[in-house]
Structure 1
Amino acid sequence: MAQSREQIVARVTDALTGDPSPVAVRGARKVDARGERSHFWVVSDASGVIEAVGTDDGEFESACRFVGIDPDDGNAVIDAAGRVLTPGYVDIHAHGSWEHSFDDGPEGIDIARAGHAVHGTTRQVLSLITNPVEVICENIRNVRAKMDERPDILGCHLEGPFLAMARKGAHDPQCLIDPVPQVVDTMLEAADGCIRQITIAPELPHGISAIRQFAAAGTVPAVGHCDADYEMARRGFDAGAGIMTHMFNAMNGLHHREPGPIPAAVEDPRVTVELINDGFHVDDPMVSLSFRFAPHRTAFVTDAMAATDCPDGPYKLGALDVNVVDGHARLVSNGAIAGSTLLLEVAVRRAVNELGISPVEAVEAATLTGAKAFGYDKPNPVTGAPLGLVAPGFAADLLLTDPDTWTVEQVWCAGRRLK
């Protein structure tokens, strides 16, 4: 009998607030940023960390016994039967799902996270929309509290309020402000270290100084929702910005005499470029071009709003009314694109099955690249074990996926079974 969404949310939340267990999977086709291997197995320990991987059956049995699993126990050992085994997906820019946003308080976070988790996004940076500063700070504190409860929440991303009016997209213009030092200090104090990234238009009067201020505090500033030219974008990256927010969207485009901010990001090896691969925000040839532009630095993100994995109809983005038609979200007021209804599961499927991008590149864009943007591809204080590979010492964030449809069938986050 199918579970209701309420039951799924409760199950996922209980799993993520509980203890990990050893995991043993065999007979898989492993795909991660290091390549593909068949007849692959992985074993993780009781701390939620991968203990061993390989293709030798004898070594698999030894690894199982080492973590306390009977290799002959068909209930304890999962036979992948040729399914694709990948790391869990890492989304560094998403606003919600299942009719809730990450701005909607603790319950809203639980519900929206479950909507992404069951589709394979095991770790997520929770994006908060433009609001009055006091509201943003309260939402930041909610994210910080959730990080203490569960391992799947990496922190928050502030998409606003330091955006260019001319490139505001679906953000409330009444809440857009200049990032003066006092406001930056207020946000950093509320965050207690949980702001992973913040989108800033560098051309604002205090844009460059704010980039420096956030970077000095350990946040990765992102250039985006900006009217910046090439030189101004370069100044932003040199000041400490390490991400381009959803490349091609809400910024000046490519032009042969006015190159704009995109080449500044593409040519800078320090910069991770976000890409929304839904066939709507960015046309398919430009998605393919991005992988040639910035190999190993293109990170799939969803920019997913509350209508994700929901029927078409009316929704909210902050205080603004949104209408979703054919899965595309637009503001009722002016028709501006209002985030997406994308899942990383779908972004990977589109890349492989529709665009001809290799599975290795597509999976890397949904896993290791986003983790690298914050140094989470190495041991770190936030996640402990690194993220983004199926390899010893990495977190047991694992997906089993149908090899034809790329539909996620089973999910583990740090050794906790979510699906």
Structure 2
Amino acid sequence: MSTDVILRGRIVTGSMDVPDGIVAFDGGVITYAGPASGLAGLGLDVGKGAGTDGTLPEAAGRILMPGLVDVHCHGALGSDFSEGSAEGARSAARYLHSRGTTTLLASLVTGSPENLVRNLTVLRDLADDGLIAGSHLEGPFLASGQCGAHDPTLLCGPDAGLLAHLFEAAGSSLASMTLAAELPGAAAMVDMLTARGIIPSLGHTAADHGTAVSFLEQAAAGLAGPGNSTGRVRPTVTHLFNAMPSLHHRSPGPVAASISAAHAGNAVVELIADGVHLAPETVKMVFELVGAENIALVTDSMAATGLQDGQYRLGTLAVTVDQGVARVDTTGAIAGGTATLLDVVRSTVAAGVPLQDAVRAATAVPASVLGLAPQVGDLHAGMRADVVIVDRDLHLAGVMRRGQWVTPPDQWVTPLE
């Protein structure tokens, strides 16, 4: 077996937790991932580039995880995917790669039809170049009373003509779209999306329980249809709890509908578990109620991610970031997140969620949502060589994406000549 790089450490993925493991790569593809004891049967010359005694260094507290997968992020490093700058979008994507998010959807906030077309065209090029896995439209078909950090003057009702125009601009790169289920015409939008294998995501909604249930059932049935070859089979819920009515014992609303659907395995709920959007106790409760296999950890990251407090923009809105919390200047609404997905994993573990569950919700589950599970989201032979190296405290120590180091590690990597 040919191999050009091997890593040793504790392997933690959604499918395994190996205290002393090896991950080997060749040409951007994983050739082996498993116990270090299995190296003997691989035909590798472990003496080349290894320790002075001819053996590979021991794990020494490092953890090897799959590259993280974020299905909801708006930008980073001063750039917003909604600003229409190809250079800025590329810079944001590359920064997120360097912080461990090796696969991502670029999310767009609500904008004018002209700007949405422009932005989708830019993101289509990024997807063609492999920098992003596709785009996510968060709007404009959202409830005005739950607009959050979306410009309420740009929201509109479901419009088949506009959606067809957006399809044309995005091509096959559009992967997901957030909708308010209660809007007149929303059901027709669900059918248009699922016919193309695009994920309907329930969010920014004031729907009652029955309407939310019907939306998720229709979306799941549509994605299960014979014409969908994308591998995307489950609808999602855009940042559960945020931008929707709180759960009430006499008015359960979209929160209860979403939790029930996720518990049954018929939907995946997004959680922004960054310590700002949700209380740690809430995060832990959702993991206990629906299981890690039905949760996608997300960042909802905006332009301030990776930068200091200050003044920024999200779409058309002015945003102030203070102590890492982004808020719309005019309303005080939380305006996305400033954490990376690795930060979210760390916060999730701090909330009491087992590490393997947190990793699964940041890798395998969102990869399966996107229909990319055969390629990313785990560490198995034949999968893409995306790996994140962290220390015991889950702080970043190295990132490999598609077999290339985007954040070079230290002595923890052992190259084989």
TM-score range, shorter chain: 0.7 to 0.9
Q: Does 1:138 align with 2:118?
A: yes
Q: Cα–Cα, structure 1 residues 56 and 78, in superposed 2: closer, same or farther, change >3 Å?
A: closer
Q: Which residue of 2 aligns with 1:266?
A: 259
Q: Which residue of 2 aligns with 1:18?
A: none
8 Å contact from structure 1 (residues 24, 44) kept in 2: yes
TM-score (normalised: structure 2): 0.88
Q: Once superposed, what is the RMSD of the aligned Cα atoms?
A: 1.9
Q: Which residue of 1 aligns with 2:294?
A: 297
Q: Which residue of 1 aligns with 2:216?
A: 237
Instruction: Please report how far the alpha carbon of residue 56 of structure 1 lies from its aligned counterpart in structure 2 after TM superposition.
Output: 4.3
Q: Which residue of 2 aligns with 1:33?
A: 14
- In structure 2, which of residues 15, 24, 32 is the aligned counterpart of residue 43 of structure 1? 24
8 Å contact from structure 1 (residues 160, 200) kept in 2: yes
| Aligned residue runs from structure 1 range 337-352, under 5 A | 337-352=334-349
Instruction: Please report how far the alpha carbon of residue 53 of structure 1 lies from its aligned counterpart in structure 2 after TM superposition.
Output: 2.0
Q: Does 1:169 align with 2:121?
A: no
Q: Which residue of 2 aligns with 1:215?
A: 194
Q: Which residue of 2 aligns with 1:393?
A: 382
Q: Which residue of 2 aligns with 1:402?
A: 391
Instruction: Please report how far the alpha carbon of residue 106 of structure 1 lies from its aligned counterpart in structure 2 after TM superposition.
Output: 1.3
What is the rounded CA distance, in whole Å, between the counterparts of 1:22 and 1:119 in structure 2? Answer: 25
Q: Does 1:310 align with 2:303?
A: no
Q: Does 1:62 align with 2:42?
A: yes
Instruction: Please report how far the alpha carbon of residue 356 of structure 1 lies from its aligned counterpart in structure 2 after TM superposition.
Output: 2.0
- In structure 1, which of residues 269, 272, 275 is the aligned counterpart of residue 271 of structure 2? 275
What is the rounded CA distance, in whole Å, between the counterparts of 1:195 and 1:238 in structure 2? Answer: 21
8 Å contact from structure 1 (residues 26, 39) kept in 2: no
8 Å contact from structure 2 (residues 8, 36) kept in 1: no
Secondary structure at 2:239 match in 1: coil
Instruction: Please report how far the alpha carbon of residue 407 of structure 1 lies from its aligned counterpart in structure 2 after TM superposition.
Output: 0.8
Extract unaligned runs of 5+ from structure 2.
Answer: 221-234, 408-417
Secondary structure at 1:122 match in 2: strand
Q: Does 1:257 align with 2:260?
A: no
8 Å contact from structure 1 (residues 23, 415) kept in 2: no
Letter in 2 for 1:319: T
What is the rounded CA distance, in whole Å, between the counterparts of 2:38 and 2:196 in structure 1? Answer: 48
Q: Cα–Cα, structure 1 residues 49 and 60, in superposed 2: closer, same or farther, change >3 Å?
A: farther
Letter in 2 for 1:371: A
8 Å contact from structure 2 (residues 298, 341) kept in 1: yes
Letter in 1 for 2:108: L
Q: Cα–Cα, structure 1 residues 31 and 23, in superposed 2: closer, same or farther, change >3 Å?
A: farther
Q: Does 1:73 align with 2:49?
A: yes
Q: Which residue of 1 aligns with 2:363?
A: 367
Q: Which residue of 1 aligns with 2:326?
A: 329
Instruction: Please report how far the alpha carbon of residue 293 of structure 1 lies from its aligned counterpart in structure 2 after TM superposition.
Output: 2.0
Secondary structure at 1:153 match in 2: coil
Secondary structure at 2:359 match in 1: helix
Letter in 2 for 1:127: S
Instruction: Please report how far the alpha carbon of residue 55 of structure 1 lies from its aligned counterpart in structure 2 after TM superposition.
Output: 2.1
| Aligned residue runs from structure 1 range 144-159, under 5 A | 144-150=124-130, 152-159=131-138
Letter in 1 for 2:13: D
Instruction: Please report how far the alpha carbon of residue 342 of structure 1 lies from its aligned counterpart in structure 2 after TM superposition.
Output: 1.4
What is the rounded CA distance, in whole Å, between the counterparts of 2:153 and 2:282 in structure 1? Answer: 33
- In structure 2, which of residues 73, 82, 92 is the aligned counterpart of residue 103 of structure 1? 82
Which 4+ residue blocks in structure 1 deviate beyond 4 angstroms? 77-80
What is the rounded CA distance, in whole Å, between the counterparts of 1:282 and 1:57 in structure 2? Answer: 41
What is the rounded CA distance, in whole Å, between the counterparts of 1:285 and 1:141 in structure 2? Answer: 40
Aligned-residue identity in percent: 36
Q: How many residues align?
A: 383
Secondary structure at 1:107 match in 2: helix
What is the rounded CA distance, in whole Å, between the counterparts of 1:205 and 1:42 in structure 2? Answer: 51
Q: Which residue of 2 aligns with 1:5?
A: none
Secondary structure at 2:305 match in 1: coil
State the Cα deviation string for residues 354-386 of structure 1 (Å, max 9, x = none). 2121110011111111111122113xxxxxxx2
Instruction: Please report how far the alpha carbon of residue 22 of structure 1 lies from its aligned counterpart in structure 2 after TM superposition.
Output: 5.5
TM-score (normalised: structure 1): 0.87
State the Cα deviation string for residues 77-122 of structure 1 (Å, max 9, x = none). 9855331000000000000111111223211112111221221111
- In structure 2, which of residues 34, 40, 64 is the aligned counterpart of residue 85 of structure 1? 64
8 Å contact from structure 2 (residues 47, 56) kept in 1: no
What is the rounded CA distance, in whole Å, between the counterparts of 1:95 and 1:348 in structure 2? Answer: 18
Q: Cα–Cα, structure 1 residues 58 and 187, in superposed 2: closer, same or farther, change >3 Å?
A: closer
State the Cα deviation string for residues 298-345 of structure 1 (Å, max 9, x = none). 111000000112111111111211011111011111111111111111
